[in-house]
Amino acid sequence: MAAILTIIYLLASITFIIGLKMLAHPARARRGNLIAAAGMAAAIAGTIFLYKDEEGNFLQNYTWIFGGLIIGGIAGTVAARKVKMTAMPEMVSIFNGMGGACAALISVVEFGHLMDGLQSVPGLTAIDITFQAGLRQQLLIILAGLVIGSISFAGSMIAWGKLNGKIRDFIFTGQHIFNIVLLLVIFFMALYLVGWLPASGVLLFYIILGLSLLYGVFFVMPIGGADMPVVISLLNSFTGVAAACGGFLYNNKAMLTGGILVGAAGTLLTILMCKAMNRSLLNVLIGSFGTGHKGAAGAKAEGGAAYKEISLSDAAMVMNYAHKVIIVPGYGLAVAQAQHTCHELEKLLESKGVEVTYAIHPVAGRMPGHMNVLLAEADVSYDKLQEMEQANNDFPSTDVVLILGANDVVNPAAKNDPASPIYGMPILDVELAKTVIVNKRSMKPGYAGIENDLFFQPKASMLFGDAKKVLQDLISELKEL
């Protein structure tokens, strides 16, 4: 049985790697997800029916196991089917937080088992324990899973609240110093517990748990809205590492491999997103967007400088006679649930001989790949999705750029205003096109809280309104031309 279970874990690990590789391309992502899910299902089934403990006994508590599987499966399926695309980032945060909570609970349970085992040995003292390297290693892994999992859980819950607007940024003087001190306290308390295992070890363990949850809250609280995609990715990597700790504790190859893959992928994605924003991870963690910076656009607005508006009929006319149109999707498109209408506009323009593509910024939306998933839901061809570098090469030869709810990723302040918090961040160079049409509900700044100088440039015209309604009206106007 043990050999069969090992083979199942090995095959499951292979499916995780294959699935992750296939996720790198939108055309294969769905299939890759199903392959990885099949591997996980096999690993779960193998554990339930083939695992034996040290005494050679199979698992007995099937009622609890299948009860949890059924309840969790139903809840997850219903949530996934009902969630709107605008709420997908919040859902990712919740699911990621549940993974962190699971890893932390594993550590709590295993610490209890460890302490029960030590108390059952007559005459065993704390000094004896400190010289048992195996026990110290086990306790170290337990504490690592506890701390990392708790931080991931608490941080993910705060990220969820901030993404849906229920929790606001909270910053106080010296908060970053407080966070560093708190993290050091947790670290040294954990070292003390591992090295000496004092009589108050159980109390100290739960103090570490409480402080880790507190750190997770204060870790995410000061991070600005524009950085949330990076934070979600980072917390995801935390959950992977915490799960890998559980794999170590149970000597479970599938759990270990899955955790390592999630941790590594989340870390690499975090680094890539920071690179796309031209910011270091440290700068993301200790800085925040949306601190009231107005920049050049704010000065123009207060000084009475006017932006231009364009009518629906004029916008339709410009797009109808264009040779090339690039659509820049943003969170406003997701909020309006306008992806299907946008695809309809794309097909209508192409029927008139217009070349239409989409420019996707790496950090557009509220989570990594948000815009890709949004457009894939509307069956937009993957070949039409251009990455930032490719799109920037095409903007100079583009007749019309239609911006749908994007803001910070097209803000020229990233290139022109050294005082701007996003200065140095690579953006979509939409101002290089002949005409720029910006669809927004109002002139309010984007998620980063920064005014956009693009709106006041001569080539730019504002088309106010809900993205779905505006696109529907544009389609009607185009059909009459």
Q: Kindly report the number of other CB atoms within 10 A of residue 342's CB atom.
A: 26
**Quick check: is 408 catalytic?**
yes
Q: How is residue 20 written in tokens?
A: 């992750």
**CB 222 within 8 Å of CB 169:** yes
State the first-to-last Cα distance of the chain, in angstroms, to the nearest integer.
Answer: 72
Strand partners, 277: none
Residue 406 C-alpha from the chain's centroid: 18
User: What is the sign of the dihedral through the CA atoms of 169, 172, 174 and 180?
Assistant: negative
* Tokens 């096109």 -> residue: 433
- How far is CA 299 from each of CA 237, 294, 302, 443, rounded to the nearest angstrom? 40, 7, 5, 14
Rounded Cα distance, 146 and 194, in Å: 13
Q: Is 258 helix (H, G, I), strand (E, B) or coil?
A: helix
Rounded Cα distance, 355 and 327, in Å: 11
Name the nearest CA neighbour of 289 among 339, 230, 353, 355.
230
**Full strand arrangement of the beta sheet holding 460-464:** 385-387, 355-360, 324-329, 400-404, 435-440, 460-464
Q: Which of 394, 408, 417, 453 is catalytic?
A: 408
Q: Which active-site residues does the annotation give?
A: 408
